[in-house]
Structure 1
Amino acid sequence: MFLKLIHNDTAITEGSPFTSDEVQYNLIHRISEDPNSLCLKTPDEKMIFAQTPGHKGWLWISNDIPSKERTSLINELINQLAEVPLQGVTGDPKTARMFTEIFSKINNVQYEKDMTMEAYHCPKLIKPEGVKGEILKATEQHVDVVADYLAGFMRDAFGTTVEPSSQQTRAAAMIAGGGLYLWIVNGQPVAKANISHRSPRHARINAVFTPIQHRKNGYASALVAELCEIIESEKRIPMLYADVKNPDSNKVYQNIGFQKCGLIEEIKFF
């Protein structure tokens, strides 16, 4: 039996079993805010499924649930999702793979791993010193440069080549969201980063990017550190996800105080 999980549900509030894995599964907070999302929980609040329509579902199961019970719960969930289009699943590797093995056999689908990310939080910031430049909140006048950076981010992160012009609408939306910041040196942007979402105890940083010609100068580190200070002033803890295939970015985050909180694996169905 599954119950509906709502925004600020008791299953994800402070003191619930979920909070022990909250950094890993922070995106569940964001999904639960969407009135169109499908969010479910077990009555004991030790299993949560959350999916935005058209996207992979996120699946969390408390670590104290034994393997046999996990299998039973996953089978029950898959039965509940029988009429729901599911693009894939996201969760810690053990949970994501267990769900995938059962789901693929029942529904006769193929699958492949999309990405493995390390979840990080920053309980104590180590601010870099001696980095030239300053932070600036992005405005409408920066749409072109942000669109160019978004295209660069897609190339580096996903190997996808797109024209910067195709990213203008997204760039404008990110700027309008109020969380996008640039690092400025001699009046010119050299890096970007975004505070993409705030949950009750954390704020998530994403879209960190430095063009190739400006790398190895500490600009991204300095900018992310400044965003951490903004987040800390709100009495929240900074967190982010980093692709494990990018050791440079992982090192950058660790050098300014980010600590590993567990892996998240994305698996795509087709």
Structure 2
Amino acid sequence: MEFTRHEDVHEFARIAEPILSEKEDLYSLFFGVLQAIKTGKYEHPFMATIMEKGEVLALLQMTPPHPLNLIFTDESRLEESVDLLIKKLLDLEIEISSVVSLKEWANLFAEKWAMKTDLTSFLVMDQGLYRLDKVNETLEPSLGTWRFANRKDGLMIEKWFNLFEEDSGLSISPMEDVKKRVASFIDEQEIFLWELDGKVVSMMKKSRPTKYGVTVSLVFTPREERKKGYGRTLVAAGTKELLNDYQFCVLYTDLMNATSNKIYMEIGYKRLADSVQLGFERFEK
């Protein structure tokens, strides 16, 4: 069993993409981030493989400060692979703020990581991964229409970006970073808005396109406009638009939010797997 850290993203992609393509929906987060690394969107990514006799046992990817993402391909070698991974991460002095993966894999890594370090894990988000191939056309839409965001919407989206992070229990990004990201989102026509009588009442984002699929993310409706169906209608309309270019859409939900999970299922999204993001912090004696 051999651990290899890859500095060349194209070399890493040559090994990883055949595996990712087999389960493109399940591995959409990993696959989508890899495409972004290939285009230069992330500096200093961590990419590694665990292999034996030409067979890939694990794929590892991290774009600091984002979580370490793990994929294991052989359940019978899972514990052995995790043990080797942790040894190499410690040898290389790789800092990890959190891990995201399918629930079983993330929990096992976090348990073993805690045993080897003075860190303890905590739940950042319990996630459901959903896939949609066809939008439910029988839904009654809310009043209004969707459109792509433009530069005039920038200040509002920046504010909503931080409010989304707050609602999701995520760390609040510095406004300087948010401004750059929102400008890029708008330029790439990645933000969809729902508008009623000239007022924007909800937003969603196109994220991490892969060969056949794309992710719906950053779904946000301000508190004063909630419970009016705007978010559901926008996600349905935005998803339908995305399906003109992709075979399927995926999204991650907070499993603690029963309402949002119900809404996405009404649109036509079906639960594919359970994922979890676990953070690490120093244990205080």
* TM class by smaller structure: 0.7 to 0.9
Q: Scaled by the length of structure 2, what TM-score is found?
A: 0.83
Match for residue 27 of structure 1? 29
State the one-letter code of the partner of 1:39.
M
Choose which of 10, 14, 25 in structure 2 pairs with 1:9. 14
Q: Distance in 1 between matches of 2:258 and 2:246?
A: 29
Match for residue 112 of structure 1? 122
Cα shift readout 1:48-90 (whole Å, capped 9, x = no counterpart): 111112322011113x522xx2111111111221221111211
Deviates more, 1:111-120 or 1:4-13: 4-13
Choose which of 40, 50, 70 in structure 1 pairs with 2:48. 40
Matched, 1:149 2:160: yes
Are residues 241 and 189 of structure 1, via their aligned partners in 2, closer, same or farther at CA, if it must alter by over 3 Å?
Answer: same
Are residues 119 and 20 of structure 1, via their aligned partners in 2, closer, same or farther at CA, if it must alter by over 3 Å?
Answer: farther
Deviation at 1:102, TM superposition (A): 1.4
Deviation at 1:167, TM superposition (A): 4.7
Q: Distance in 2 between matches of 1:160 and 1:121?
A: 27
Matched, 1:72 2:80: yes
Choose which of 176, 180, 184 in structure 2 pairs with 1:173. 184
Match for residue 256 of structure 2? 245
Give the SS at the match of 2:56. Answer: coil
Deviation at 1:261, TM superposition (A): 0.8
Match for residue 200 of structure 1? 211
Give the SS at the match of 2:243. Answer: helix
Q: Distance in 2 between matches of 1:232 and 1:134?
A: 18
Matched, 1:101 2:90: no
Give the SS at the match of 1:71. Answer: helix
Matched, 1:92 2:102: yes
Q: Distance in 2 between matches of 1:108 and 1:166?
A: 31
Cα shift readout 1:106-154 (whole Å, capped 9, x = no counterpart): 2232221211110111022113334211111100011122123223322
Contact 2:33 2:208 in 1 (8 A): no
Contact 2:214 2:246 in 1 (8 A): no
Q: Distance in 1 between matches of 2:146 and 2:269?
A: 20
Are residues 162 and 87 of structure 1, via their aligned partners in 2, closer, same or farther at CA, if it must alter by over 3 Å?
Answer: closer
Q: Distance in 2 between matches of 1:146 and 1:103?
A: 37
Contact 2:46 2:61 in 1 (8 A): yes
Q: How many residues align?
A: 264
Contact 1:183 1:191 in 2 (8 A): yes
Contact 2:50 2:58 in 1 (8 A): yes
Mind listing any 5+ residue stretches in structure 2 that lack a counterpart?
none
State the one-letter code of the partner of 1:101.
E
Mind listing any 5+ residue stretches in structure 1 that lack a counterpart?
none
Give % identity. Answer: 22
Deviates more, 1:220-229 or 1:117-126: 220-229
Q: Distance in 2 between matches of 1:22 and 1:117?
A: 18
Contact 2:57 2:81 in 1 (8 A): no
Deviation at 1:221, TM superposition (A): 1.5
**Superposition RMSD in Å:** 2.5
Q: Scaled by the length of structure 1, what TM-score is found?
A: 0.88
Choose which of 206, 215, 232 in structure 1 pairs with 2:226. 215
Q: Distance in 1 between matches of 2:72 and 2:201?
A: 41
Q: Distance in 2 between matches of 1:163 and 1:87?
A: 17
Give the SS at the match of 2:268. Answer: coil
Give the SS at the match of 1:90. Answer: strand
State the one-letter code of the partner of 2:250.
M
